[in-house]
Structure 1
Amino acid sequence: MAPTDETAQVTQDTAPPGTTPPAQPPAGAEAGHGARMPRWLPRAMVLALALVACFQLGSWAFHQLTGLLINVLIAFFLALAVEPAVSWMAARGMRRGFATFLVFLSVVIASAGFVALMGSMLAGQIVDMVEDFPDYLDKVISWINQTFHTDLSRVEVQDSLVHSDWLQKYVQNSASGVLDVSAQVLGGLFQLLTILLFSFYFAADGPRLRRALCSVLPPAKQAEVLRAWEIAVDKTGGYLYSRGLMALISGIAHYILLQVLEVPYAPVLAVWVGLVSQFIPTIGTYLAGALPMLIAFTVDPWYSLWVLIFVVVYQQFENYVLQPKLTAKSVDIHPAVAFGSVIAGTALLGAVGALIAIPAVATLQAFLGAYVKRYDVTDDPRVHGHRRQVGAPLLARMRRALRGPNRPEAPAEPGGPSPKPGKRG
């Protein structure tokens, strides 16, 4: 019988008699050899860890530099706002750096003068309130005694106030917080200096900055970048100058009112109302009018009411007459969009975002309008909010359908066309 493949395999695996069978390899040797770690896996793990470390480092650096980035953003918009004036002086032969210095010097002098006037006014009002406090207290005590039939004296009230626990705690907390206030003031001054320095460099070296930016872009992209820069300058400068003009008009109007009412510190209050009402959108007018109302109340309570009425009336005049004419070409942004942009800017960057939100959105809107294709709108009444009226033939057909086929038609009016003959059922 010839051996088959299976019997041949068995005879090969079986060792001859009297010999030691060969050692078999371990069962998991081949499996272990196949499960060895790939060469790319350690490199991938190291690369993943490096990417995570870089992300964490970048996130930490971004959070640490958030304040500096906000200052640079403010400085950039401030440089865009003053660039038209700087370019105007540079076009007439003045060096750009010196022109920028003159513009910023004017801004600093005006701001310092305004702060000094406001400080003197507030200091004078505080001194007057402290000097008149005993008279106010006597009037209040006399009113309480007459109304509630009590027997209070000013000396007792003053002693109770001076020796009260809450006053002592307030004085202690105020004394301990003086150092914190000083640190905040120094930090604010350093932040202001940083913004002025960056904005000066942005405005003075504007052409060099544009050349450096365009040098890393292809020619097709350079035109788009320069176009966007030009739009940003026009919108930001136009927003600032239109707001400045409206602040001037508002200040003059309120100054006339305060002078007529003989309210003290009328020039300072007029400047306050003009600036705050224009550069704090939507609610700035009412916030600015609170201080003149308070000062007018110290003269005569009825004067504060007249100031309130004037503020409300002037706000309506500004919204519906003055502002559309002055900002139609400079900003051209819908009031609802402006209000929403202010809210979004406040949520993102706080008070700084509220100030730069409108020029930023106006710049974005103008940039998109320059590249988005627009079409003519069809002459449809629904575009203007009117419903399209149904034609008379359609109404006649509907009436005939409602009457039914067996119902005779209504007789024609005298002088009208006679009905056409038709089949009767």
Structure 2
Amino acid sequence: MTTDSTLDPGTGSAPQADTTYGATPVFGAPAAPGDEGTRPLQHDARRPPRWWGKALAMAVLAVFVGIFAWGALGALQGLLVNLLIAFFIALALEPIVVWLVRHGWKRGGAAAAALLGGLAVTIVVFALFGNLFVQQLVQLVGYVPDLYTSAEEAIESRFGVDVPAVDELVRQGAEEWGGEVASGALLVGTTILGAVFAALTILLVTYYLLAAGPRFRASICRWLTPGRQQEVLRLWEVTQVKVSDFINTRIVLAAIATATTFAFLAILGTPYSLPLALFTGVVSQFVPTIGTYIGGALPVAVALTSQGFPQALGVLAFILGYQQIENLWLAPKVSARALEMNAAVSFVVVLAFGAVFGALGAFLALPIAATVQAVANTYVQRHELVRSHMLHDPGEGDDEDAGDPEDV
């Protein structure tokens, strides 16, 4: 008797028929017995993957969170600007508070004395010159039409160019912006209340920052490792010293420029000397590179139209001469420790911040740039310069310090 060779030697029975040939494969099943766990499970392309629903829900949630965060930042923009102003004022007053603490004052009392002292100085200045400033400012605003008429006549007589008359400009402005001006006048009271609230917010936050002092820095450092604490404290110290020196230097230079310009214009007999001098002093220090010329253009124009060409030429000569004295002698003496920046870089920073955040952004651009540069000077590694003719002008030696990174 012969043995059927088709019998399964392990079971002695006939093997199962292979039903997989030509049949639809089962997704997730092994290809053959013994292949369990050796092949990855296949995915049915007719159905979405299991993670699809969760990923879609997370994407939708992220979009809504982003929209909410953007709206919240827009709503909190005014508060954030006030906090930024308070922070820079606190940095500027910190050396005074530290000096008072060294001489036996309590931290809270020293902070209050520094803040109230600054307010007192501001009030005294406004009390001494505020009435004269307001009177001359009102007269200057009322003189603008006459100034425009004089400039119009001069341009038409010399260049033959037709310039719109004042009445035409007023009529056009009333037609285009009359409704906006009328509606905006209704918001004057709200604007005043908002300004008062913003001033109180800035003062309170500044006082709390000054009074907290080391405690505020300690509360931040408790969240960091010891190594990170050292870096944060070193960065804070560098930023505080540089920004404080920078702001105080600009304030001193602006005060000197204002006083000097006011004295010269008063001696020359130029009308509206106080507001013109204040405009020149502030703009010359907080608008880099061309600030002196922008600030001096208005006094020159007023002197030209109200006094004549010789007086205008005298004002122009004074502006140019004072700019040279300030750059070569006064500024290096006053800003010996202040953080200096490249003129082109600082000018671009002012334009950028002014375009994004308006006039206040332009005012805060230089302190913010000073902070960024202080961080860069602390953490960015400097290298020795190579010897190249591209790093010095013809006639200068290769050993001279051309292209100093501090000048960039």
Question: Same fold per TM (> 0.5)?
Answer: yes
Q: Which residue of 2 aligns with 1:393?
A: none
Alignment of 1:222-237 (within 5 A): 222-237=229-244
Q: Which residue of 1 aligns with 2:315?
A: 307
> Structure 1 residue 175: deviation in Å?
4.3
Q: Which residue of 2 aligns with 1:323?
A: 331
> Structure 1 residue 294: deviation in Å?
5.0
Q: Which residue of 2 aligns with 1:276?
A: 283
Q: Which residue of 2 aligns with 1:406?
A: none
Q: Do the aligned partners of 1:242 and 1:327 also contact (CA within 8 Å) in 2?
A: yes
Mapped partners of 2:172, 2:248: distance in 1: 49
Q: Which residue of 1 aligns with 2:39?
A: none
AA in 2 matched with 1:118? F
Mapped partners of 1:95, 1:234: distance in 2: 22
Corresponding residue to 1:250 among 251, 257, 263: 257
Partner of 1:361: helix, strand, or coil? helix
Q: Which residue of 2 aligns with 1:338?
A: 346
> Structure 1 residue 124: deviation in Å?
4.6
Q: Which residue of 1 aligns with 2:119?
A: 108
> Structure 1 residue 278: deviation in Å?
1.5
Which segment is superposed worse, 113-122 or 81-90? 113-122
Q: Do the aligned partners of 1:341 and 1:358 also contact (CA within 8 Å) in 2?
A: yes
Larger Rg computed on CA atoms: 1
Q: Do the aligned partners of 2:289 and 2:344 also contact (CA within 8 Å) in 1?
A: no
Alignment of 1:123-272 (within 5 A): 123-125=138-140, 174-264=181-271, 266-267=273-274, 269-272=276-279
Mapped partners of 2:27, 2:358: distance in 1: 64
Mapped partners of 2:61, 2:183: distance in 1: 46
Structure 1 residue 96 corresponds to structure 2 residue 103 = no
Mapped partners of 2:189, 2:27: distance in 1: 73
Q: Which residue of 2 aligns with 1:396?
A: none
Partner of 2:187: helix, strand, or coil? helix
> Structure 1 residue 358: deviation in Å?
2.4
Q: Do the aligned partners of 1:97 and 1:204 also contact (CA within 8 Å) in 2?
A: yes
Mapped partners of 2:262, 2:277: distance in 1: 5
Mapped partners of 2:344, 2:26: distance in 1: 74
Deviation readout 1:89-113 (Å, 9 max, x if unpaired): 2222223333333333343344451
Mapped partners of 1:356, 1:74: distance in 2: 8
Q: Do the aligned partners of 1:74 and 1:352 also contact (CA within 8 Å) in 2?
A: no
Give the root-mean-square deviation of aligned CA atoms: 4.3
Which segment is superposed worse, 199-208 or 235-244? 199-208
> Structure 1 residue 309: deviation in Å?
2.5
**Is there any run of 5+ residues in structure 1 with no aligned partner, and where?**
6-11, 14-26, 141-160, 390-425
Mapped partners of 1:123, 1:343: distance in 2: 29
> Structure 1 residue 264: deviation in Å?
4.4
Which segment is superposed worse, 30-39 or 355-364? 30-39
The verdict on how the C-alpha distance between 1:224 and 1:376 changes in structure 2, with shifts beyond 3 A counting, is same
Superposition TM-score, scaled by structure 2 size = 0.69
- The number of residues matched between the two structures is 350
Q: Do the aligned partners of 2:280 and 2:295 also contact (CA within 8 Å) in 1?
A: yes
Q: Do the aligned partners of 1:235 and 1:359 also contact (CA within 8 Å) in 2?
A: no
Mapped partners of 1:126, 1:378: distance in 2: 57
Mapped partners of 1:277, 1:328: distance in 2: 19
Superposition TM-score, scaled by structure 1 size = 0.66
Q: Which residue of 2 aligns with 1:395?
A: none
The verdict on how the C-alpha distance between 1:248 and 1:65 changes in structure 2, with shifts beyond 3 A counting, is closer
Structure 1 residue 349 corresponds to structure 2 residue 346 = no
Mapped partners of 2:383, 2:178: distance in 1: 68
Q: Do the aligned partners of 2:288 and 2:343 also contact (CA within 8 Å) in 1?
A: no
AA in 2 matched with 1:340? V
Identity among equivalent pairs (%): 37
Mapped partners of 1:95, 1:53: distance in 2: 48
> Structure 1 residue 173: deviation in Å?
6.5
Mapped partners of 1:31, 1:38: distance in 2: 14
Q: Do the aligned partners of 1:238 and 1:330 also contact (CA within 8 Å) in 2?
A: yes
The verdict on how the C-alpha distance between 1:120 and 1:101 changes in structure 2, with shifts beyond 3 A counting, is farther
**Is there any run of 5+ residues in structure 2 with no aligned partner, and where?**
7-15, 18-22, 30-42, 153-166, 398-408
Alignment of 1:388-399 (within 5 A): none
> Structure 1 residue 251: deviation in Å?
2.5
